[in-house]
Amino acid sequence: MKTNEIIGIDVSKLLIDVCIYSKQIVKQFENNKSGFKSMLKWVFKNSSFSKEETMFIFEHTGMYSHLLSVFLTEQKTSFFIASGLEIKRSIGIARGKDDQIDAKRIAQYGYRLKEELKPSNLPNSNILQLKSLLSLRTKLNKQRAGFKVTLKEQKRIYKAKEYKIIFDVQQKMIVELTKQINKINTQMQSIIDQDISLKETYKLVTSVKGIGMQTAIMIIVFTDNFSKFENWRKFASYCGIAPFPYQSGTSIKGRTKVSHLANKKLKAIINMCAISAIQHNPEMKVYYQKRVEQGKSKMSTVNIIRNKLIARVFAVVKRQTPYVDILKYAA
């Protein structure tokens, strides 16, 4: 059935602000099951449209929006989870923060795109587990990196005898964090190995030279096992690596640029993959050197390689066949 009503929801830790687009009215509810029930009653009491004609739109906010996703799924109510990046691109960046205004802006975003939006599905439990484990792994990695940097500087400046206890404690923290990170890696690999669909996708993605375990899992998680993005270009845009033309008027044309609005975690790790590919993949190494010798920008060349890697990942998943390095068979 055609979507005629949009409900914009701004989700925070304890509260949700809800806007009925057709009436331009906003009300606040608690971010829990009781609050969600009250919200549904209020929405369908005040809206002129049926449940089947209504789409709920809210931004992905991690665990704070998870309960709402589960509730709406149980109620068999259509909803769409938008990334903050998509909303900002569609209706612009607003100054300041006002939850009621944000709810209206989300509703406005949904109404503009109501003909194009397809209802979201709650990711399966394995994807959700992987996402939580990735988040924890990132936090532990940051803590370990912090201890390593501090310890290195302190050893350079202070005498080992006087600061032995400080050095020992930090070294033990590094060792313990490494153990926990390895434990998380093992658990993520176990989850993938026990899920036939995820295991097959993981094998295909890691068949692409330059894509390792962490990158493969991140791509699988953020694409919801390649169900969220229609093609590699849309995913590249989400990562902030898709170049777009920069033009002023009709005659002044500058270089293509990439968006600063992006999933920065994915962008950073894909950049690392591109650098690794340039160093260890003969094909990418030759391509990089050739462009640089021609006077092309090093950064733009790295970005092309980032896009090449993403395109190859999507291609192998679409074909359901591993990547084949044809240079191995060249005479």
In DSSP notation, 115-153 reads TT-----PPPHHHHHHHHHHHHHHHHHHHHHHHHHHHHH
DSSP at 93: P
Ranges 5-19, 92-106, 190-204, 244-258: which has the least confidence: 244-258
Segments of the chain assigned E as strands: 5-11, 15-20, 25-30, 54-59, 79-82, 247-248, 252-253
Q: Give a yes or no: residue 203 inside a domain.
A: no
**Whole-angstrom Cα distance, residue 33 to residue 56?**
16
Whether 158 and 100 have beta carbons less than 8 Å apart is answered as no
Q: Give a yes or no: residue 297 inside a domain.
A: yes
Both tokens of residue 242?
Answer: 């898709």
184 & 240 share domain: no
The mean predicted confidence, pLDDT, of the chain is 88
Q: Give a yes or no: residue 274 inside a domain.
A: yes
Q: How many CB atoms lie within 10 A of CB 297?
A: 12
> Long-range contacts of range 173-177, CB-CB < 8 Å, 24 or more positions apart?
173/143, 173/144, 173/147, 174/144, 174/147, 174/148, 177/140, 177/143, 177/144, 177/147
Residue 91 has pLDDT above 80, yes or no: no
Spell out the alpha helix ranges (H) of 206-252.
Answer: 213-222, 232-239
Please state the φ and ψ torsions of residue 83, each to the nearest 5 degrees: -80, 150
| 65 Cβ contact list (under 8 Å, min separation 6) | 11, 58, 59, 81
Amino acid (one-letter) located at 55: M
Amino acid (one-letter) located at 8: G
Q: Give a yes or no: residue 206 inside a domain.
A: no
Closest CA to 324 of 310, 306, 314, 312: 312
Q: How open is the CA angle 83-7-230, to the nearest 5 degrees?
A: 35
Q: What percent of the chain has pLDDT over 90?
A: 67
Closest CA to 64 of 85, 86, 42, 84: 84
Strand partners, 56: 7, 79
187 & 156 share domain: yes
Please state the φ and ψ torsions of residue 98, each to the nearest 5 degrees: -140, 115
Q: Identify the band that residue 37 occupies on the pLDDT scale cut at 50, 70 and 90.
A: very high
Q: Identify the band that residue 252 occupies on the pLDDT scale cut at 50, 70 and 90.
A: very low
Q: Give a yes or no: residue 208 inside a domain.
A: no
Q: Report pLDDT digits (tens) over 177-193.
A: 999 999 999 999 999 99
Q: Identify the band that residue 247 occupies on the pLDDT scale cut at 50, 70 and 90.
A: very low
131 & 172 share domain: yes
Q: Give a yes or no: residue 232 inside a domain.
A: yes
Q: Which of 57, 86, 112 is the last residue of a domain?
A: 112
What's the domain range around 28? Answer: 5-112
240 & 272 share domain: yes
40 & 98 share domain: yes
Q: Which of 112, 141, 168 is the last residue of a domain?
A: 112
**Whole-angstrom Cα distance, residue 213 to residue 281?**
17
Q: Identify the band that residue 161 occupies on the pLDDT scale cut at 50, 70 and 90.
A: confident
**Whole-angstrom Cα distance, residue 306 to residue 276?**
11
108 & 129 share domain: no
Q: Give a yes or no: residue 168 inside a domain.
A: yes
100 & 130 share domain: no
99 & 131 share domain: no
pLDDT, residue 251, reads 44
89 & 175 share domain: no
Is pTM beyond 0.75? Reply is yes
135 & 60 share domain: no
CATH code of the domain covering residue 58 = 3.30.420.10
Residue 132 has pLDDT above 50, yes or no: yes
Burial class, 105, CB count within 10 angstroms (exposed 0-12 / middle 13-18 / buried 19+): buried
Q: Give a yes or no: residue 210 inside a domain.
A: no
Q: Which of 112, 135, 152 is the last residue of a domain?
A: 112
pLDDT, residue 316, reads 96
Number of domains in the chain: 3
Closest CA to 242 of 222, 226, 262: 262
Closest CA to 16 of 52, 53, 89, 66: 66
Residue 95 has pLDDT above 60, yes or no: no
